[in-house]
Structure 1
Amino acid sequence: MATDHEEGLLSIIEGIRSSDKKDCGYLIHTSNISTLIDQDFALGELDNKVLDDVADFVKIKEILSKNPRGSETMILNAAAKNTKNGRPVKSAILCPPAVYGFGRGPISKRGGKLTALMRAIILYKSAFSVENGRNHWSVVDIHNLAKAYLFLVDKALGRIGVEDKYWDSKGYYVVETEELCWGAFARSIGERVQNRFFIDELAIVKKLTANEVDAIYAGGSTYWGTNARCMGSRLRQLGWKPYRGCLEKYVNQRLGFEIEDLYGITIEEQELEAEERRPRVSPDSSPVLQANLGNVMNEDIPYTRLSIERYDLTPDAMSTDEEASMQLRREETREETEETREATQETREATQETREATEETREETEGTGEENEENEAGGRKEGDGGEK
């Protein structure tokens, strides 16, 4: 269900109330950080304002009250309409910003606007930003987000005690772990794509207007040109402890899958291209040779480099989630196999060392035994001489 479908949300709330059960019924709603965006702020510029869901909660509620959708306000005020005759309702809102990572569910694994920007840059064949690209967004790793849901469900089920003040009119939770600058993020995408293909100036960030960006990706300026900076203190006060996700690792893997899907260039071919483009510098080469290396790399050489210009784009260029997941699992399996191989080698070496140590101990023991026998034999000879 869409997060702004007020009729649907109202039906769910009334359905909980109509139950014959006397214990509380809980509703955990997913909102969108875009509801907190200051649409009047200049696109592409940095807004120094960061909203904390505890310290700035009054300000957040004021912003939500001005939202024409009104779904968030409906959720926060649901408990106010509880009656003695109906089942009481307790509600909470989880508000994630930009989400990244590979989903583990059966349907969507592609991520949101971060992945969309990667794909847009690949198709546009140039990194770009909305105006100056100085604006920031909070982000969260998808697995940390999933743990936030489970954490709050545990609270609702009573496995861990929770006070009433964390539900209903104060039950608003921002779920974030990091922050990024959209312009800098676009530049890093361009650099990574340029590293995989021999394309000039792809890493140079082009400054585009909102209309130009929206022509590349419908509504893109609403995300890539605005500020959505929030601090999720409320959930942390309850004990939620997120780990820091690895955005760089996700970007590298996701880019490989998107390029393969759009242009048919396999992950292996992309890695070979990146390896081929990596400068080869001898440890004892002179500074002059190193300085000229960049010029050499740009000269025509008898090597057919990969290029996204060589591939035709399909009309409906959508990423194949299952192939991406399979490729990710293959990489994980390859890493696990390599770790197992290294562990086996270490075990084999340790066994060999133990065997050698055992052999040395045996030789020392045998040497000691022979020495004892010689001493005993010498003692017997001395005894025989005394009897004579």
Structure 2
Amino acid sequence: MALKIFITGATGYIGGDTLHNLYAKHPDHQYTALVRTKDKAAIVEKAYPNVQIVIGDLDNSELLEEQASKADIVLHTADASDHAGAAKAIAAGLVKGHSGNSSKPRYWLHTGGTGILTYEDSEAGRLGEHSDKEYNDWTAVNELTHLPASAFHRNVDEIVLETGEKHGDVVKTAIVCPPTIYGKGRGPVATRSRQAYELTKLVLTGKYIPVVGSGKARWNNVHVSDLASLFTLLVEEAGNPTADKQSELWGSKGYYLAENGEHVWTDLAVRIGQECTKQGYISNLEKKSLTKEAALDQAGFEAVSWGWNSRGKAERAKHLLGWKPSGPSIEAEVPNMVQEEHDLLSKKA
């Protein structure tokens, strides 16, 4: 069955890779993409001739509501976890546009982020400390859907969850919550992630191994193609619902951590440094401690995140959707990260 899919972030890293995967597997779906500029729209149209483009941004609530009201599925990836106005507009559109037939609900696939799991460290002022705390989206999904209001991204999570609970008969919601994402994106515009790549950039330009706080913080990771495959599985489920799984897939239980591994930030920085030396770009690297303020000054929020713990187990998608991550590990991707960041820096020089 051909579905009407409205996607935000088609020119971004997550949305670009997901659209690539979806379009390749399901070219018969009717895709509409929100794009901010005509120049970027032309790039998307060239890559995907059958995708309809609407020009606008997340501050255009009327446009978002209108497009959401026409869609069977809204795939929201553009600054999704931090733009409350866009979330409210999408919610209103999905509810407004529903025909009233609960046998044919609309679907909202929303992109969160596991920065939400760092609140304990950030609020306690801990930096780089070891933590055994690990969330689980299968055995303890209720904990993830009831995090404190002060947690990063939580205000937008609440809008999505409330929509799925209050209007669950006509709007099915799922929050996909990725951690550190890596790998070269296959989208037509943005192909680079930030966290691990900013770390690589800092090692190359600063010529040292950054150690934030105590240097023991851990974070999950996922290859961008595996994240795209999870979104694709959710789209496929929406198009062909599994009757006995609906209550587990959407709404109050529709919260999906999207990890396939874990790294210690300092260990990853050391590995990146070793690869920089191996490729002949730097030698004699030493570790350098960074306070929160120094980390912010060096590389912004990404650098501070290298000192916070964000840990969880992604079991829900595996149990319910048969998700099988198969991308290379973040450690295996380090040589490509170093080469790509070096090439980018050389172009800017």
Q: Normalization by structure 1: what TM-score?
A: 0.63
Q: Pairwise CA RMSD of aligned residues?
A: 2.1
Superposed, which structure 2 residues align to 1:170-249 within 5 Å? Answer: 170-197=253-280, 199-202=282-285, 204-238=286-320, 239-249=322-332
Name the residue aligned to 2:13: none
Give the SS at the match of 1:43: coil
Superposed, which structure 2 residues align to 1:33-52 within 5 Å? Answer: 33-37=114-118, 38=120, 39=122, 40=124, 42-52=126-136
Indicate conservation of the 8 Å contact 1:186/1:205, yes or no.
no
Residues 1:30 and 2:116 are matched in the alignment: no
Correspondence for 1:80 among 159, 162, 165: 165
Q: More helix per residue: 1 or 2?
A: 1
Give the SS at the match of 2:219: strand
Give the SS at the match of 1:46: coil
Question: How big is the shift at 1:62?
Answer: 2.7
C-alpha distance in structure 2 between counterparts of 1:5 and 1:199, whole Å: 40
Question: How big is the shift at 1:195?
Answer: 2.2
Name the residue aligned to 1:12: 90
CA 1:79–1:215 in 2, change beyond 3 Å: closer, same or farther? closer
The one-letter code matched in structure 1 to 2:94 is I
Name the residue aligned to 1:158: 240
Give the SS at the match of 1:128: strand
CA 1:123–1:104 in 2, change beyond 3 Å: closer, same or farther? same
C-alpha distance in structure 2 between counterparts of 1:12 and 1:133, whole Å: 40
Indicate conservation of the 8 Å contact 2:219/2:311, yes or no.
yes
The one-letter code matched in structure 2 to 1:153 is V
Indicate conservation of the 8 Å contact 2:142/2:253, yes or no.
no
Question: How big is the shift at 1:54?
Answer: 2.0
Residues 1:58 and 2:142 are matched in the alignment: yes
Question: How big is the shift at 1:130?
Answer: 0.2
Q: Normalization by structure 2: what TM-score?
A: 0.70
C-alpha distance in structure 2 between counterparts of 1:236 and 1:145, whole Å: 13
Residues 1:111 and 2:193 are matched in the alignment: yes
CA 1:111–1:20 in 2, change beyond 3 Å: closer, same or farther? closer
Question: How big is the shift at 1:228?
Answer: 0.3
Residues 1:169 and 2:252 are matched in the alignment: yes
Q: How many residues align?
A: 262
Indicate conservation of the 8 Å contact 1:43/1:225, yes or no.
yes
Q: Which stretches in structure 1 are left out of the alignment for 5+ residues?
A: 265-312, 315-388
Greater relative contact order (Cα 8 A, min sep 6): structure 1 or 2?
2
Name the residue aligned to 1:373: none
Indicate conservation of the 8 Å contact 2:220/2:263, yes or no.
yes
CA 1:199–1:77 in 2, change beyond 3 Å: closer, same or farther? closer
The one-letter code matched in structure 1 to 2:329 is C
CA 1:166–1:64 in 2, change beyond 3 Å: closer, same or farther? farther
Q: More strand per residue: 1 or 2?
A: 2
Indicate conservation of the 8 Å contact 1:64/1:70, yes or no.
no
C-alpha distance in structure 1 between counterparts of 2:98 and 2:275, whole Å: 58
C-alpha distance in structure 2 between counterparts of 1:181 and 1:81, whole Å: 39
CA deviations 1:148-180 (Å, max 9, x no partner) are 000111111116553223211111000000000
Name the residue aligned to 2:10: none
CA 1:24–1:159 in 2, change beyond 3 Å: closer, same or farther? closer
Task: Flag the structure with larger Rg.
Answer: 1
Correspondence for 1:2 among 75, 79, 96: 79
Query: 95-104 or 255-264: which moved more?
Result: 255-264
CA 1:199–1:71 in 2, change beyond 3 Å: closer, same or farther? closer
The one-letter code matched in structure 1 to 2:86 is G
CA 1:263–1:18 in 2, change beyond 3 Å: closer, same or farther? closer
Percent identity between matched residues is 27
Name the residue aligned to 1:363: none
C-alpha distance in structure 1 between counterparts of 2:197 and 2:239, whole Å: 35
Question: How big is the shift at 1:131?
Answer: 2.1
Indicate conservation of the 8 Å contact 2:204/2:282, yes or no.
no
Give the SS at the match of 2:147: helix
